Amino acid sequence: MKKFLSNVLLLISVLLVSLVAVPWNKIDQWGFELAFLTENELMIKAIIGGFTILLGVIFFFVSNNQFKKNGIVENHTRNLAVIPLFGYALASMSYTAYLAYSIYVSAIPSTAQLLLFVGTLGIILSLFVVGYFLVVEYKRVKNLGRLFRTMILSEIAIGTAAFAYLNLVYRVQDRYSSISTKYMIFMIPLFLVLYILYLILSAKTEKNVEKEENLEKEIKENKKIKDKSVPSTVDTGKKTMIVSKEQAILTGQESIDPTSVVFQDVSVDPEFSKMTNQANQANSIEYYIEKPKMFKPLTPSFDELVAYVRELPQVVTKLDEDRITFYVDRKPFLVLMNFGNYYRLAFKYDLEQGIRLIIKYPTISKNKSTKDELWFKANNYGDIPKEVIYSIVKTAHSNYNN
């Protein structure tokens, strides 16, 4: 019920601010006469502006309270805190832009008037650009960041309203009553369309952000404090060793030049697999990539990824000299190799899903060292999103776990 009432209040707010974009000089042209609106247009629009600022302040405190209690701001709270303010500023500038254009066409075809019209269009465009940081990022920042955004949006709303007032008083003056505004009524449905598009794009963006946040939360929950540490460089007298979950794996591989190894095939440990040895058999997928020349920060890092995989259910970790192999029920599903400034994954995946990954990410390809068509490899130079890396690992694991 609370969410429903919030959506109703937000819709009413959008309708009110859309009225600000419509000139009220000829109310009767739309089939009804309300002289009160025409006579008190500036006062009523100022009241609407004050209402949007009041909403912004109230829901700023509500959002801060939600963040303190739950660690996250709900979408409908964010929308009520910023959308009315942003919409009011956009409506004020749309109103000013139309009046500036009308005066330029019908009364003052001067360069100064043209520059005024072009300038208002530039401000409207800037509002959309700045709006991303002030509106979309509102719930992703902390309380101080939300205070900053509320103050900036309030100042923008007041500034655009003042600009519209000055233009009306000093530029339009007595010509206001004669300006044709019949089709400006369509600004109301236009604002509703923009509002609906915002909700659709916002929902899609929030879905991706929520997925990433859930992954980070899962990693934090699965990460345990380990008192014992066994570095991978310790000479144990064996080429391979099974590592229990109580032992930490620390990597210290130095960065190397990828141009000499980027096409080197990953040899997946066949000890527990049932792969047939078909020598020199052609692969069903052949994919070659251009050697990358740039590196980006690795997210997740190699050690973070290793720790994440080891916390998955029923995973057995086998440590080799140059790679770490992970098993479920004595069957390998993932191999990791660390090269310092990048790392490699060899993973068993559904064929169709693997092909989609190959098409989307150039550093993912078929693993040619195995004849099994379901093995793929990925070189992560920092260009593969971390949610994709985690999704690959979880899917490869669940294929065996299920």
The verdict on pTM exceeding 0.85 is no
The percentage of the chain sitting over the pLDDT mark of 70, rounded to a whole number, equals 75
Condensed to tens digits (0 to 9), the pLDDT of residues 100-144 reads 999 998 888 889 989 999 999 999 999 998 887 888 788 878 888
pLDDT score of 271 more than 50: no
| pLDDT, position 213 | 59
From residue 117, alpha-carbon distances to 98, 129, 134, 365 in Å are 8, 19, 25, 53
Q: Which of 136-150, 358-372, 379-393 has the lowest mean pLDDT?
A: 358-372
Condensed to tens digits (0 to 9), the pLDDT of residues 161-195 reads 999 999 998 888 778 888 888 889 999 999 999 99
Cα–Cα distance between 162 and 39 in angstroms, integer?
19
Under the banding of pLDDT at 50, 70 and 90, the label for residue 277 is: very low
Helix 143-167 with 41-70: angle, nearest 10 deg: 170
List, as one string, the DSSP characters of 125-172: HHHHHHHIIIIITGGGS-HHHHHHHHHHHHHHHHHHHHHHHHHIIIII
Most confidently predicted of 53-62, 72-81, 211-220, 229-238: 53-62
From residue 389, alpha-carbon distances to 212, 277, 308 in Å are 11, 29, 11
Condensed to tens digits (0 to 9), the pLDDT of residues 83-105 reads 999 999 999 999 999 999 999 98
Domain boundaries, the chain: 2-221, 229-275+284-401
Supply the Cα-derived Rg of the chain in whole angstroms: 30
Whether residue 231 contacts residue 243, with contact meaning beta carbons closer than 8 Å, is answered with: no
CATH class of 229-275+284-401: alpha beta
| pLDDT, position 125 | 93
pLDDT score of 9 more than 70: yes
Which is more confident, 82 or 261? 82
Condensed to tens digits (0 to 9), the pLDDT of residues 298-345 reads 888 898 899 899 888 888 888 887 789 898 888 888 999 988 888 999
Cα–Cα distance between 36 and 269 in angstroms, integer?
83
pLDDT score of 275 more than 50: no
pLDDT score of 154 more than 80: yes
Whether residue 332 contacts residue 269, with contact meaning beta carbons closer than 8 Å, is answered with: yes
* Both structure tokens of 63: 């959002």
Question: At a CB cut-off of 8 Å and minimum separation 6, what does 184 contact?
Answer: 21, 22, 23, 98
* Both structure tokens of 81: 């805190």
| pLDDT, position 69 | 85
Condensed to tens digits (0 to 9), the pLDDT of residues 210-266 reads 665 555 555 555 554 444 443 444 444 445 666 666 666 666 555 544 444 433 344
| pLDDT, position 218 | 59
Under the banding of pLDDT at 50, 70 and 90, the label for residue 30 is: confident
Most confidently predicted of 256-260, 291-295, 356-360, 373-377: 356-360
- Taking residues 200-205, report their average pLDDT: 79
